Amino acid sequence: MTGPTRGFFGRTRTERDPRLPPGQYDTGSGWPVLTAEVTPHLDPQKWTFTIDGLVENPTTWTWDEMHALPQSEYQGDIHCVTTWSKLATSFGGVSLDGLLATARPLPEASFVMATSTTKYTTNLPLADIQDGKAWVAWSHEGKALTREHGGPVRLLVPHLYFWKSAKWVTRLTLMDHDEPGFWERNGYHDRGDPWAEQRYQGD
């Protein structure tokens, strides 16, 4: 840590909100859009979600099948590696726990690769999407998720930087080893824990 920057005092601030991980600021009601590809037009009736790889029972759900499952909600904060956080937000969808219970991971499964309709990929330790930590989400604040934020459906892994929450998600492949996804190959951290500031390779 070096000394202060000459002439910089920062925005007037009160106590730092304890919900903000280090290096993050509160973007308030804003929600920046950061996507490296063309925003797809995804027809929900043609969308499917598959869990395959090292599972006993590879399974594909359609939009209607997914919506017939017990719904689950996330209420809390999200964090982007570009340093904004959005506090007290809510998402609706289904918990990955139920989906994984159907697909039944094999004992050697320890990592996951998520894939989008755009071929975007991102890797996660399996443990990071189990036990109530991850969702397939289609609503935000009670409204349908908009296209630029991954609508109609995205992955939601709110305890990791948001590039892990793949927009337009379509597949989770369970593996016995870790493999970098799109941003991970392009310089970003393999895991991305905001509280540990795991932003770039080597952090």
Partner 1 sequence: MPASSLPGATAGSDAAILRPGRAPAGGWRTATVREVAHPTPRTAMIRLDVPARVDHLPGQHYVVRLTAPDGYTASRSYSVASPPSDPLIELLVERLDDGEVSGFLADVLAPGDTLEVRGPIGGWFVWDADRPAVAVGGGTGVVPLVAMLRHARDRGRPELFTMVAAAGRWADLPYAEELAAAGARIVLSREDRPERPAGRIGLDDLPDLTAGPTVFVCGSAAFAEAASSLAVRAGADEDSVRVERFGPSG
Residues that bind partner 1 (CB under 8 A): 1-11, 13, 16, 23, 25, 27, 29-40, 82-84, 118-119, 121, 148, 180, 182-183, 185-187, 200-202
Distance CA 17, CA 145 (A): 27
Q: Which of 120, 138 has the CB closer to ligand FAD?
A: 120
Give the other-Cβ count within 10 Å of 167's Cβ: 26
Asked if 182 contacts 113 with a C-beta cutoff of 8 angstroms, the reply is: no
Q: Which of 29, 45 has the CB closer to partner 1?
A: 29
Contacts of 165 (CB under 8 A, 6+ apart): 78, 150, 154, 155, 156, 157, 158
Contacts of 60 (CB under 8 A, 6+ apart): 48, 49, 50
Q: Which does 182 bind (CB under 5 to 8 A by kind): partner 1, ligand FAD, none?
A: partner 1
Asked if 160 contacts 143 with a C-beta cutoff of 8 angstroms, the reply is: no
Q: Which of 18, 28 has the CB closer to ligand FAD?
A: 28
Which residues, in sequence order, are bridge partners of residue 84?
Answer: 25
Instruction: Fill in the per-residue mask, 20 to 59: x = in contact with ligand FAD (CB under 6 A), - = not in contact.
Output: --------x-------------------------------
Closest separation in Å from C-beta 37 to partner 1: 6
Q: Which of 28, 70 has the CB closer to ligand FAD?
A: 28
Furthest CA-CA distance within the chain: 60
71 is an interface residue for ligand FAD by CB under 6 A: no
Give the chain's radius of gyration (CA, Å): 18
Q: Which does 104 bind (CB under 5 to 8 A by kind): ligand FAD, partner 1, none?
A: none
82 is an interface residue for ligand FAD by CB under 6 A: yes
Closest separation in Å from C-beta 93 to partner 1: 23
